[in-house]
Structure 1
Amino acid sequence: MSDSLSPATSNHPLLSRVLASDGTLPFALLRREGSLEVEVLVGDVVDVDLLGDIPLDGAPVLAVVPFRQAVERGFTVHDDGAPLRCLVVRESERVSLADAIAVLPSEPVAAEPLGFDIPDDEYAGIVRRVIDDEIGQGAGANFVVMRRFEARTSSAPVLTLTSWFRALLTHEVGSYWTFAVHAPASDGETLSLAGATPERHLTLHDGVARMNPISGTYRHPATGPTRDGVLEFLRDTKENEELFMVVDEEMKMMSALCPDGGRIVGPYLKQMARLSHTEYLLEGRTDLDPREALRQTMFAPTVTGSPMENACTVITRHESRPRGYYSGFLALFEPEEPAVAEPGSADPSADGSASYSLDAPILIRTAYLHDDGRVSVPAGATLVRHSVPEHEVAETRAKASGVLTSLGLVPRGAGPDVAVDLNAQPGVAEALAARNSQLAEFWVRPQDAVRTATATALTGPNVLIVDHEDQFTTMLAHQLRHLGMNTRMVRWDADFDVLADDLVVLGPGPGDPRDQEDPRIASIARRIHERVAAGLPLLAVCLSHQVLAGLAGFPIRALPAPRQGVRLAAEVFGSMAAVGYYNTFGAHVTTTSAADGGPVPRLALEPSFDADGVLTALRGPRVASVQGHLESVLSSDGLTVLDALTRHVLGVPAESTAAR
């Protein structure tokens, strides 16, 4: 940098101070999606223990949230002690994108590439173990395993970060946020990072919550992306299912945040310099404090897996090093303008509290600069039942390459950053729209319209839903409320009276239903016996359905191939129903199945099964169960089947309306 300020810099004194600083000034540089400005933030660094401790006292705050914060939800993680660091903004300015690019350091920072911390063959072995030992044993539908590209530099931190930031502004496209954050601590390591993340985690503005699940990856060839290449990607079953799985997982979160549920919008194709992804937008209304909304949505399934709680456990088993800030998020809290009170009403801000909006992108495609000059760029691949280990190795390389090439850490190569606009290619819009034919209207259309169309409301029953470590229960609760019921949820290990409610729904969860040593499985069996012995209505879903089937004498076996994130049309008591499945095990019909009613006495359970002899559902006096996830976004007929099964167990006559 020159000692004299350029006209662009002199017009922006705060950016000038950042560029001239010696590393002791805390700052953040941000460019948000679609903006032609760079935001410059300077302030004070504060470390807090919990998300709820983030100081929202009237000033904007930028929080950097590490993955270890998942302990707030009781999840298992490698706890590296990474601080939840906040930049309380005292000064800010906006600089035009052109001016910022003109004055930021343009020379690449010298760095020595060291390669990935986990070699390709070792990472491929981890992929195989996750598929075989986790997905293949019912631990979940998908998991994300991380590795890091590492390098070393001797350049000064401010020069390094601002140079990286400029490189990302000029070389990367399609980012949700492009950013550089420098947050020195009074004691401990300075937190320095720069990135170009494609993915919003959560935004809150004027009571509207939005999430943005992105999954499925088209790796651009060296010669640039093509129409044929992207259409092949959009037709790929594995890529389709990968996206639907994370949409399901984030809809679980939306159902917890939003009393009226969430709605799916999209899909879209997000094109970046070296990759393209498919994405949906989820939206709904909430009145939660933004810090609590963040706590309930830690962390995105696109960077962890599903179901979320067990995904953290699986990550801990297969990643030997803590994640630091990878898969955490930045969270910018900004005071909102106070609402204008209606004449004669109370002042909405009379208590002196400030209302905040939230913009929280996921920390991926990010480079971290450590105090000793080490540089790390983490990347992960989403592993599903169809995953090919070598392809997942290539995906981590591709995801890291956008950052690495922009920062000059690996050669850029001869290929163009972006050769064609993929969204403008013939057939792309149609291929994207075709995906919605597989989705349940309940989650796509405004839900009041769906309720009018189905006209299936049941009024008044109190329903207890038991969560066995899979938040699909939040979506079940929302659908049951939609049908007119009063719902409450408890965890399986809570102390509660299983006989107190009109209906108990035993929910899904990860694991092997045959494992009586698993305390969750034992608790399901015990509660089935208690409800059945009392003659009280019971509905069991997925894992709980399998336990019920086993108690009734139906053999439980691992399926030849896991049905994780699969949409199947199968018979459910005489009617064909398209339903989403997330199961590795299945109960099977045999010639001797349940001859005497099994250990569940005298239930006389009627089985419904598919062409492979796998039970799709069971029903008996005041009891029913279902293998599929009626609440899934994949379950086009889910609401209708849920209505029929709850009517059966409650003894409510089925409606005759043709609207069903």
Structure 2
Amino acid sequence: MHPPSRLLSQILTDDQPFALIRREDEPTIDILVGTVIDVDSLSDIPLTGDEVLTLVPFRQVAERGYAAHDDGSPLRCLVVTDRETLTVEDALGALPQHPADVSNVTVDVDDDAYAETVRTVIDDEIGRGEGANFVIRRDITAHFSDEPVTALLSWLRELLVSEHGAYWTFAVRTPGISLVGATPERHVSVTDGVVGMNPISGTYRHPATGPTTEGMLEFLADVKESEELVMVVDEELKMMSAVCPDGGRMTGPFLKRMSRLTHTEYLLEGTTPRDVRDVLRLTMFAPTVTGSPMQNACRVIARHESSGRRYYSGVLARFMPKSDGYDLDAPILIRAAHLDDDGTVTVSAGATLVRHSTPENEVAETRVKASGVLSALGVLPRRTEAQPLHDDPRFDELLAARNHDIAAFWRQPQQPRAVRGLSALVVDAGDDFTRMLVHQLTHLGFAARVVDWERANPTSDDDLVVFGPGPGDPRSTEPRVGRLRRLMSDRVASGLPMIAVCLSHQILSLMVGLTIEPLQAPRQGQQRTVDIFGSRARIGFYNTFAAVAGDRSHTPRLSLEIARDAETGTVQALRGSRIATVQGHLESVLSPDGLDVLDRLVSDVMVPQAASIQTQ
């Protein structure tokens, strides 16, 4: 038996608030003890010089105006009054070695019901254009009879022994609420003003005998798994663009290997002058556990989950003081167990549902995501440690090949172009892709800003107005679509420059006499090579509906020139005097030619006598 630390001895004998944290397979564990304070909002987190660990529940997303079941879970702060660091070896020697027993294991949504939810979300949510992907959870609940502290620390020990590759392995104990887990994913960190995020998506479920080279190669070549990762990268770059004046840059993809799963991930990085609490608020919460676009993903979650998520898919936010403020390290609360003092323990897991999803695979994914924690709890048998899979040069080749179709703009440092001395207003139609559009317009020399559709009032002082993308059916009578139609009508009447993207392109297409039809299959997170007025361009698409022009070359009203698919008549773009529209997302990482197309469209509407858009 290794001698326990002073603080670990206190924790084992005296029930007090504490946290134990091991970060990224480091050889040491931090032990934090302190006092608990519950606050109402992220801005109330007391950063007055002490280290603070904050439990951020999912319902806190309401601070961004997004939907969530209000389950009353507190925004809880552990204000650290004492701390120690000890080796993992010493911790293993001191922590309870016999995992607490569990019984009465139940699942709130059985396999058949969850499979039906998958079908419903694909057909009724993605199929109606509500978004590109959504994460719906289910819960496994059991009961334990040990004291909460003993149960918590015994399960932590099991995770330290059996799990590897976690970003944080942790246990947190506060009055009435305890958490233990091994989360693979950082949501956001800030170190000396440098913001980091690492979206993880795509899942290779290891066979019982361990991962194989053939299985890994099949996983890396799977289009669904690759598209799933790119979609969450797009979503997190929206967040990076909101908190970092220089946007974000991506590196990767990399493999994220754990005991039962292998994921793929990108690393995103940018710089910010913002308060770390503001960074956290503007990035709530990760698309890997919610979906995209975020605002609609939260609505879909509220429709399909009957109860609040408590801390599942929230974050643990560690605020660390330094001489001139605070740094932040905030992993996502997944692959974790939630303990209540009444002896209930709950493990939640969700699958990312996309247009290619199959119900049986998503059911299996929720099982394997929960399996590591369930094994530590003793609900499932501990799997014998398999031999590690040796690296194969083909792994790196397949990973690198994914970047051949990724926009260089988001992978390489960009030198801003000459300042134009012009302003651009971007109207947010319900999708934070507008943040990336603002960043690209700023790069093109505009003084750009974004305003949501409810508050936007374009004037002649706005040299350019860009009506942004958003979820939903452009034919609907919902207030958002109606207001966008009125704003665009006013801008057209003014004769001043404007561009409309995706949903706004579809609304304007209706206004000028074209029809809108649902696509046979949604193009959510799909790259296509299209003709934009004589120039071929690789563009990312996130649409379920499309304008159709048949064999027309110009629109019935306003006589806008049409760029269309020669076979299907699907409209890719429109242009006329001071007006341009585009169906694809020029700002997406899926648009290698997006910035050049945007530059050409902008130049066309700002200089109406331009006869055509020339290929650069």
Instruction: Tell me the TM-score range normalised by the shorter chain.
Output: over 0.9
Is the 8 Å Cα contact of residues 331 and 361 (structure 1) preserved in structure 2? yes
Q: 1:550: how far off?
A: 1.1
User: Does the C-alpha gap of structure 1 residues 200 and 608 become closer, same or farther in structure 2, counting only changes over 3 Å?
Assistant: same
Match of 2:435 among 463, 474, 488: 474
Does residue 1:631 correspond to 2:599, yes or no?
no
Which residue pairs with 2:119 in the alignment?
A: 128
Letter in 2 for 1:524: L
Deviation at 1:607, TM superposition (A): 3.2
Task: Identify the residue that residue 30 of structure 1 maps to in structure 2.
Answer: 21
- d(CA) in 1 for partners of 2:570, 2:387: 48
Alignment of 1:270-419 (within 5 A): 270-336=256-322, 338=323, 354-413=324-383, 416-419=384-387
> Match for residue 537 of structure 1?
497
SS at match of 2:3: helix
Corresponding letter in the other structure for 1:528: M
Paired amino acid for 1:488: R
Aligned partners of 1:215 and 1:277 also within 8 Å: yes
2:25–2:164 CA contact under 8 A, matched in 1: no
Q: Residue 491 of structure 1: which of 429, 444, 452 is its match?
A: 452
Q: In 2, are the aligned partners of 1:304 and 1:311 still within 8 Å (CA)?
A: yes
Range moving further from structure 2, 458-467 or 604-613: 604-613
Matched, 1:8 2:6: no
Alpha carbons of 1:177 and 1:548: their partners in 2 closer, same or farther (altered >3 Å)?
Answer: same
Q: Distance in 2 between matches of 1:105 and 1:654?
A: 75
2:102 and 2:377 in contact (8 A); partners too: no
Change (3 A) 1:436 1:592: closer
Q: Which amino acid aligns with 2:504?
A: S
Which position in structure 2 is the counterpart of 1:110? 101
Post-superposition shift, 1:592? 6.2
Shift of 1:115: 2.9
Partner residue in 2 for 1:553: 513
1:182 aligns with 2:173: yes
Rounded to whole Å, the distance in 2 between the matches of 1:462 and 1:550 is 28
SS of match in other structure, 1:636: coil
Question: Please, which of 189, 198, 202 is the counterpart of residue 203 of structure 1?
Answer: 189
Q: 1:421 aligns with which of 389, 395, 401?
A: 389
Amino acid at match of 2:508: L
1:435 and 2:402 are equivalent in the alignment: yes
Q: Distance in 1 between matches of 2:560 and 2:542?
A: 27
Separation in 2 of the partners of 1:610 and 1:307? 30
Where structure 1 has 5 or more consecutive residues not aligned to the other structure, the ranges are: 1-5, 185-189, 339-353
Cα distance in 2 for partners of 1:540, 1:408 equals: 55
CA deviation profile, 1:601-646 (whole Å, cap 9, x unmatched): x343333436432111110110000000000011000000000000
Is the Cα contact below 8 Å between 2:457 and 2:487 reproduced in 1? no
8 A contact 2:209–2:386 mirrored in 1? no
Q: Deviations over 1:496-522 (max 9, x none)?
A: 24443111000000000111x111111
Query: How far apart are the structure 2 equivalents of 1:443 and 1:488?
Result: 20
> Secondary structure at 1:57's aligned position in 2?
coil
Q: CA deviation at 1:659?
A: 10
Paired position in structure 2 for 1:588: 548
Whether the 8 Å CA contact 2:405–2:592 is kept in 1: the answer is yes
Match of 1:166 in 2: 157
Q: Which residue of 1 aligns with 2:423?
A: 462
Deviations 1:451-479 (A, max 9, x none): 5xxxx646121111000110000000000
CA distance in 1, matches of 2:568, 2:221: 27
Which residue of the partner structure matches residue 241 of structure 1?
A: 227
Alignment of 1:572-587 (within 5 A): 572-587=532-547
Structure 1 residue 534: deviation in Å? 1.0
Any conservation in 1 of the 2:546–2:570 contact (CA below 8 Å)?
Answer: yes
Following the alignment from structure 1 to structure 2, what is the Cα–Cα distance between the partners of residues 396 and 163? 24
Contact 1:50/1:84 (<8 A) preserved: yes
Give the distance between the partners of 1:113 and 1:584, measured in 2 at CA. Answer: 44
Return the alpha-carbon distance in structure 2 between the equivalents of residues 510 and 268 of structure 1.
30
The answer to whether the 8 A contact 2:532-2:563 is kept is: no
For residues 50-107 of structure 1, the C-alpha deviation after alignment (integer angstroms, 9 at most, x for no partner) is 0000000100000000000011011111011100000000000000111111111111
Which residue is equivalent to 2:601? 645
Provide the C-alpha distance between the structure 2 equivalents of 1:298 and 1:533, rounded to a whole number of angstroms: 39
AA aligned to 1:200 is R
Distance in 1, matches of 2:410 and 2:609, equals: 26
Letter in 1 for 2:387: A
Check conservation: 2:552, 2:562, Cα contact below 8 A: no
- Letter of the 2:137 partner, please give it: M
Q: Is the 8 A contact 1:80 1:324 kept in 2?
A: yes
Report what 1:513 is aligned to: 474
Q: Whole-Å Cα distance in 2 between the matches of residues 113 and 247 of structure 1? A: 39
Residue in 2 aligned with 1:343?
none
Give the gaps of 5 or more residues in structure 2: none
SS of 1:433's equivalent in the other structure is helix
Change (3 A) 1:592 1:574: closer
- 1:84 aligns with 75
Distance 2:24 2:362 in 1: 28
Amino acid at match of 1:159: T
Deviation at 1:14, TM superposition (A): 0.8
* Equivalent residue number for residue 604 of structure 1: 560
Is the alpha carbon distance of 1:369 and 1:80 closer, same or farther for their aligned partners in structure 2, counting shifts above 3 Å? same
Q: Which amino acid aligns with 2:574?
A: L
SS in 1 for 2:209: coil
Tell me if structure 1 keeps the 8 A contact 2:134–2:354. yes
Q: Is contact 2:52-2:320 (8 Å) kept?
A: yes
Task: Quote the Cα distance in structure 1 between the aligned partners of 2:365 and 2:445.
Answer: 45
C-alpha distance in structure 2 between counterparts of 1:57 and 1:655, whole Å: 60
Aligned length, in residue pairs: 616
1:99 alignment counterpart:
90
Give CA deviations for 1:543-565 in whole Å, capped at 9, x if unaligned: 00001111111110000000000
- Name which of 618, 621, 642 aligns with 2:577: 621
Q: Answer with 432-441 or 41-50: which moved more.
A: 432-441
Flag the 1:50–1:577 CA change in 2: closer, same or farther, 3 A.
same
Counterparts of 1:378 and 1:610, CA distance in 2: 48
Q: 1:460 to 1:323 in 2, by over 3 A?
A: same
User: Are the aligned partners of 2:561 and 2:574 in contact in 1 as well (CA < 8 Å)?
Assistant: yes
| Contact 1:462 1:485 survives alignment (8 Å) | yes
Contact 1:498 1:527 in 2 (8 A): no
Following superposition, which runs of at least 4 residues in structure 1 exceed 4 angstroms of deviation?
591-595, 652-659
TM-score (norm 2): 0.97
Residue identity (%): 56
